[in-house]
Amino acid sequence: MVAEVWQAANQAALVAALHPVYASLCRHAEKPEPADPATAAPALDPPAAIDVLSAMFALSPFERAVLLLCAGVELEGRFVEMCAAAQGDPRRGFATFGLALAALPDAHWSALSRDRPLRYWRLVEIAPGDTLTGAPLRIDERILHLLAGVQSNDERLDGVIAPMPEAVSVPAWIGDAAEAAARALGAPDGRVLLTGRSAADRALAAAEALRLAGLVPRLLRAADIPPTAPEREALARQWSREARLAHSGLCVRVADSAETRPLLALLARIDVPVLVEADEAALPDGLAAVRIAVPTPSAAERRQIWADSIGAPVAARMNGALDAVADQFSLDTPTIRAAGVALGLLDADGEALGRAAWRIGRAHARRSMEQLARHIEPMADWDSLVLPEA
C-alpha cells in the first residue's frame, strides 16, 4: 500500500479505535454517548499502528483502551472535556489509572504494575501525584507519533545510539562474513562477535550484516555505555523498545577490553539481537556469542578494489604499478576506494599515477604505524656521535 494511502487509512482506523473508549467515558460521566461511526475501521496491510503495537507488546484489551484514552487526550479536545466531567473537576482534564479502572471495560489492577507493558515499556508516563491511581497519565511522545502514523525516533537515544553509514557495495570476503553474521543474528536473542584486523572493514561487515538480517543498522560505542546500573537499565529498555518499533539492529563497537564489564551488564538486559564489533586486542571476555572473523583481503583482492575504484582504462595505463601497490600496502576497503577515486580524477600518465598510488599507500601505512608506536624526534645529530678511532 502506498505510504500516503496507508497513513490516511491508519488515521481512520485510529479514530475508529478511539470511539468506544470515548463512549465508555461518556457512560461513566452520565453524558450522552456519541453515535456509532458510519463506517467500520478499514482493513489495512500492513495493519494499523494501534493493532501492531498491541500485538507487539501483548497488551490486554484494557491496557489497549488505557493507551487509547491517553492518546485521545492528546489528539481530541473532547477527551479532555469528558475526562474532566467524568472526574467531576474541570481541572482534571487528563487520564488517570483511577479513571480508566472506573470507566473502561475489562479493567484489571495488574495493568498498573511496573512489570506490565504500559509501564515496563514506558508506553505511558505517570506524572507526579499523590497516588498511583490519581496521578496524571500521558502517552509517550514516540508512541503517540507511531499511532498517528508519523515516523520519528526516541530522542532519549540521541547522542548515544547513532545511525550507521548508508548501504554500499561490499567485496566478496566482507559479504561472506556479513552473511554468516546475519544468519546468527536471526536466532532468538542473537549475539554475534565480529572480529578482524581492519576497523573499517569490520564496520562495513557489521552494517551489511544488520541490513541482511532485515534491520536498520544503529551504532553504540561501548565507551558510551552508562556506568551505573539504573542508567544501563533505562538504556536497555529504551533500545529494546526502539528496536521493535523501528526494526533496528544494534552494533556495539568495543575499542578497549576495559569496556567489557559495562557491555556485558547492558547485554544481559537487552532481549533483541546485538552485534558486537571488536579488534582482536579488545575482545570482550565472557561474551557468549557466535564469533565471526572478517578476513584480511589478499593482494589480488586489494588490486581488484583498486581497479574497480580507478576504472579499467586508468588501471590499464599504470603498467603493473597497481600490482606493486596492492602487494606492498595492506589497506582497508574504504581507504582503497577513496584513494582510487582520487587517482581516477588525476590527469596524468601511468607512471605518475603509479607514483601517486605509492605515496598514498606509504601515507596510510605510516598512519597505521603511528597508531601502534610513538614517533620520537631525535635530539642529537651525527656530529654528536663519538666512537673509538678503530
Closest CA to 194 of 203, 186, 248: 203
Q: Which three cell numbers stand for residue 89?
A: 473537576
Pairing of strands 95-96, 136-139: antiparallel
Residues of 203-242 as b/e, b for ≥16 C-beta within 10 angstroms?
bbbbbbbbbbbebebbbbebebbbeeeeebeebbbbbbbb
Q: Could you tell me which residues are beta bridge partners of residue 218? A: 163, 250
Query: For residue 375, what pLDDT is reported?
Result: 56
**CA distances for 106 relative to 14, 21, 27, 36, 63, angstroms:** 20, 12, 15, 21, 9
- Tell me the per-residue pLDDT of 341-376, one tens digit each, with 9 for 90 and over: 777 666 666 677 777 777 877 776 655 544 445 556
What band does 147 get if pLDDT is binned at 50, 70 and 90? Answer: very high
pTM, entire model: 0.81
- Tell me the per-residue pLDDT of 95-134, one tens digit each, with 9 for 90 and over: 999 999 999 999 999 999 999 999 999 999 999 877 999 9
- Tell me the per-residue pLDDT of 177-233, one tens digit each, with 9 for 90 and over: 999 999 999 987 799 999 998 888 999 999 999 999 999 999 999 999 999 999 999
Q: What is the dihedral of CA 194, 199, 205, 206, to 10 degrees?
A: 60
What band does 41 get if pLDDT is binned at 50, 70 and 90? Answer: low
Closest CA to 243 of 266, 220, 273: 273
pLDDT at 251 over 60: yes
pLDDT at 309 over 80: no
Query: For residue 369, what pLDDT is reported?
Result: 46
Q: Which three cell numbers stand for residue 181?
A: 553474521
In the chain, the N- to C-terminal Cα span, in Å, equals: 90
| Displacement of CA 184 from its chain's centroid (Å) | 18
> Which amino acid is located at 86 in the chain?
A
